[in-house]
Structure 1
Amino acid sequence: MIISSDTPTRLTLIHRPVALLAALMAAAGLLVFLAGYNVHLGNSGRALLILLLILALLGPCLWFGMERVQVSFDATAGTCTIDIRRLTGSTVETLPLADIAKAMVQTHKGQSDSNDAHRVALVLGENRTENRRPLTTGYSTGPGAARAVDRINDWLKAQRGSARA
């Protein structure tokens, strides 16, 4: 997630997996090329298998690749709005800022030597599994989730400090 707006009264983060979408499009293009090449060579069975593979992978790839999430913390309204847009439609969820205890990093362990993947989640109330609200469907590698969590927690802390003063 990247921070698109950061003011004392509003913090907005956006998740658009552009690199993932580009990689998925490149892989699909390569598979289409391989299918066409196999047709050219007369290997229609192999070409059909490659096209079936494309169809099987296309749905989940587009689901994750086309997801757009915008999270806006608004101190003036006292709300956190989570706007999710996918191929299947849009959803908007509004949470009271007072219900958000903190943000945290959720980690998916990679197999053996592979990198771990992370995503941002909000803790609503007590820090128990059922109270964690992930902001994205997928996980990604790199420090982006940790940076977003740090900024959200700092912003929430500043809001709670100014509310007491």
Structure 2
Amino acid sequence: MIKYAYLLILFTALIAAACSSDTSADYSAAPEATETETVFGAPFTPAAYLTADELLPLITDEESELMQVSAEVTEVCQTKGCWLVMQTSDGQPIRVTFKDYAYFVPKDLAGQRVLMEGVSWKEITSVAHQQHYLEDAYASEEEIAAITEPKTGYYFEATGVVIL
């Protein structure tokens, strides 16, 4: 009987220790992070980040180094949540895709702030791709038909996204 009492005490101590261990990530470097954040993609440790306004002049034809950007989401793919758009203060869109198409974000994310880690670049976006993005956003046929010229697009490929 004493043997069972010792086993019960040991089991209770193990359960208590497991429940009290701290497995939360350290987000002290990102003052905007909260305990209610949601992470999509690869986890990362928030660090010094850029805003969309700070990012835009740094975007070149070559893929950038890994960086973090925090911005408000202005648009999300309404088909799957497979891309989002952030904008600079003067309205320049930066389209965000997700590394290896490995994850999606909620389709109702517009208006919320996110912190993302990834790389940026710019390239000429074809008419077909521009129209495809509008189709994903459920744009009208008139809006889609109005796209007739390729244009320079600014891109960010996120390896991970934290909803703040």
* Common fold: TM-score over 0.5: no
Q: Please give the range of the TM-score, normalised by the shorter of the 2 chains.
A: under 0.3
User: Of the two, which has the highest radius of gyration?
Assistant: 2
* TM-score normalised by length of structure 2: 0.26
* TM-score between both structures, scaled by the size of structure 1: 0.26
Q: Larger relative CO (CA 8 A, sep 6+): 1 or 2?
A: 2
